Amino acid sequence: MKKIKQVRIAIIAANFHPDITQKLIDGALATLQEAAITKENIMIQLVPGCFELPLACQQALRQKKYDAAIVLGCALRGETDHYTAIMNGATQGVMDVMLRCGKPVGFGLIFARTRTQALARCQGGKNYGSGAARAIISMLSTL
């Protein structure tokens, strides 16, 4: 993995499913530390759910002290269409923030039908938090 130092990363995590969120955070942290980004250069902020991620991400990036952000969270399909609205709103909102702020945002959101599917996406080599961190490392190296 490419080593990058001297960058500050904001991790914004939706805490609606805290056990899943923590696994995503752990995956992101492990990957960032493999790239020589120290804990002192990583800020973690929890928000209530996925819908709140874009605003919190935007606020962090506008502070000018973060070079990139990673958004993490999980939404599970329920019995209503609420899941679709959250999924679409969070996805578009995060994309808008990235383009408006001109800084990379790693997308580590899990949208799954079941809890079992979500858990499978936050463990081992399939950890979405780790994948989002790898994307940030790549983008920071590219930009």
pLDDT by residue for the chain (143 residues), tens digit each?
Answer: 566 768 999 999 999 999 999 999 999 999 999 999 999 999 999 999 999 999 999 999 999 899 999 999 999 987 777 878 888 999 999 999 999 999 999 999 999 999 999 999 998 889 999 999 999 999 998 88
The side-by-side arrangement of strands in the sheet containing 42-47 is: 42-47, 9-14, 68-76, 105-112
Does residue 76 lie in a domain region? yes
Our answer to whether residue 82 is catalytic in this structure is yes
Residue 4 maps to a domain: no
In total, how many domains does the chain have?
A: 1
Q: Considering the domain boundaries, does residue 1 fall inside one? A: no
Report if residue 47 sits inside a domain.
yes
Domain span at 36: 9-142
What is the torsional sign of CA 56, 27, 4, 93? negative
- Does residue 41 fall inside a structural domain? yes
Q: What is the CATH number of the domain that holds 138?
A: 3.40.50.960
Indicate whether 122 belongs to any domain: yes
Bridge partner list, 67: none
Examine residue 129 and state whether it is found in any structural domain, yes or no: yes
The answer to whether residue 134 is domain-embedded is yes
CA–CA gap between residue 117 and residue 122 (Å, rounded): 9
Pick the catalytic residue from 2, 65, 82, 126. 82
Beta strands, E only, 1-143: 9-14, 42-47, 68-76, 105-112
- Give the up-direction half-sphere exposure of residue 102: CA atoms within 13 A in the CB hemisphere: 3
